[in-house]
Amino acid sequence: MNSKTRYYADAYGPDTKALAECIRKAFELADSDDEVERVVLYSYTKNNFMQVDKIFGADNVTQMFSCPMKFNECTKPIKCATEITYKKECEYRNTPKDVVICCHMDSKAVFKVDDYMTAKYIIALSWTMEGLKKWKTRWYAKNVLESKTDKSSKCEINPILQIALREMDNRMFNSKNLIHSDDEETCKTYIRTIHKYLPEVMPSDIEDILVTELGWENRNSSEVGELLQRLKNGRTFKGGQKTYLKEYYNHWKQELNN
């Protein structure tokens, strides 16, 4: 299960003040947690650190890409990393030791950081006011700027869907991906059933449950969500049962009433 602690700040464009608040929070977390070894300023490419330059200085930021630096405001070293460089680091490390500040990013990009074991805390700063909506509502992230948790857009999930996905996960032998053909077949059967008998369910509902309750990685849960989206778009896919689907649905309802 994902045990990271998450914070966010909604901002529009190059909001240096909001970035400074995220950095302040990161320093606070790093100083108060002995397990944290460093703070990582993270974004798409090196070209996306212009606002970070204004706070730390362009020369310092350039150095922090290759060698972490210490500043008086924080007891832990500060590093800069891009999507590519941080991903490479995480391939060889699995200890949660970083406070990661995702600078001016959207939900799709921050979901990738959720999968990295090295991130103990994630602080996400958006580039548009709605850019982090999916991520912050999935995790009930805490608002750095207002010191409260965002619950405004979180919808109550159909309990039948939770039963269905938990059962699917068990039948896939907890592989939590579609690599094995038998697991892929099982998943597609469940998605066909959900599409037919739970038409109100959206792909994001499935992805949220798989990640937050069943421990799937974001990239694998997205594959499952995409299957449902194909059906909702009037398309189809190969595999999965197409008959006797109601038996699955009736079983889920029975489980709910037990």
Is the pTM higher than 0.95? The answer reads no
3-state secondary structure of 52: helix
Strands 142-143 and 38-43: unpaired
DSSP-derived 3-state class of residue 134: helix
Same domain, 110 and 226: no
Query: Which CATH number fits the domain that encloses residue 102?
Result: 3.40.50
Secondary structure letter of residue 36 according to DSSP: -
Work out the pLDDT band at 172, boundaries 50, 70, 90.
very high
164 and 138 in a common domain: no
Same domain, 164 and 61: no
Boundary residue ending a domain (110, 143, 176): 143
Are 164 and 139 part of one and the same domain? no
Q: Are residues 214 and 238 in the same domain?
A: yes
Domain that holds residue 26: 5-143
- Per-residue pLDDT for 147 more than 70? no
Residue ending a domain, among 143, 178, 205, is: 143
Q: What DSSP element (H or E) covers 51?
A: helix 50-56
Burial classification of residue 80, based on how many CB atoms lie within 10 Å of its CB (0-12 exposed, 13-18 middle, 19 or more buried):
buried
Residue 83 has pLDDT above 70, yes or no: yes
Residues 15 and 127 in one domain: yes
pLDDT for the residue numbered 155? 59
Same domain for 9 and 112, yes or no, is yes
pLDDT above 90 coverage of the chain, percent: 90
Same domain, 76 and 171: no
Instruction: For residue 95, tell me if it sits in a domain.
Output: yes
- Are 74 and 31 a contacting pair, CB within 8 Å? yes
For range 27-49, the mean pLDDT: 98
Both 124 and 221 in one domain: the answer is no
Q: Please tell me the total count of domains within the chain.
A: 2
Query: Is position 73 within any domain?
Result: yes
Residue 30 and residue 36: Cα distance in Å, rounded? 6
Token output for 200: 């109100």
Tell me how crowded residue 31 is: count the other CB atoms within 10 A of its CB: 14
- Summarize the confidence of residues 122-141 as an average pLDDT: 96
Residue ending a domain, among 109, 143, 177, is 143
* Alpha carbon 202 to its chain's center: 17
Q: At what angle do helices 203-212 and 159-171 cross, to 10 degrees?
A: 60
Angle formed by the axes of helices 181-197 and 159-171, to 10°? 160
The token pair that represents 26 in the structure block: 């990161």
51/109 same-domain check = yes
**CA 210 to chain CA mean position, Å:** 11
pLDDT of residue 3: 84
Same domain, 29 and 132: yes
Do 98 and 179 lie in one domain? The reply is no
